[in-house]
Amino acid sequence: MAEKLNASSKRGFMAKAKAKGWKKVRGRDAISKRYVFADFNAAFAWMARVAMKAEQLDHHPEWANVYKTVDVVLSTHDVDGLSDLDVAMAQFMDKTAGAAGR
Ligand code: H2B
């Protein structure tokens, strides 16, 4: 079961995540980020890679793709907020997105 981040780990995580372009979602314990890739092929290849990671972790992003843009929201539905799994997923997404991850 995912562990909800406590206040101090959330502060620490948010400080680093904000520097990477993640934002708090208004009215929800969740974060969002827009990734813009070179083209649709790059965007969808990245989504496929993230999808396999999501299955491994049993933790799935809320996301939408239009052409080369992918809008992502991360939150853990089981705990109704941010958890260690969102941290892992955000790190994996940024690591694999290359220049689109900033
Ligand atoms: N993804 C996300 N983002 N949050 C969850 O709480 C979650 C999930 N729970 N993927 C998983 C699946 C759960 O529903 C299954 C039954 O393990």
pLDDT digits (tens, 9 = 90+) for 21-78: 999 999 999 999 999 999 999 999 999 999 999 999 999 999 999 999 999 999 999 9
Q: Give, in degrees to the nearest 5, the angle at Cα 79 between 66 and 25.
A: 40
Q: Which of 5, 56, 58, 72, when mutated, tests ligand 1's pocket best, judged by the most ligand atoms within 8 Å of its CB?
A: 58
Question: What CATH number does residue 33 fall under?
Answer: 3.30.1360.20
* pLDDT score, position 1: 79
How many Å lie between the centroid of ligand 1 and the Cα of residue 38? 30
Residue 71 located in a structural domain: yes
Q: What is the pTM of this model?
A: 0.96
Residue 82 located in a structural domain: yes
DSSP-assigned states of every residue in 57-69: HT---EEEEETTE
SS3 (DSSP) at 4: strand
pLDDT band at 102 (very low <50, low <70, confident <90, very high): confident
Task: Tell me how many domains the chain contains.
Answer: 1
Residues with CB under 6 A from ligand 1: 58-60, 76-78
Residue 2 located in a structural domain: no
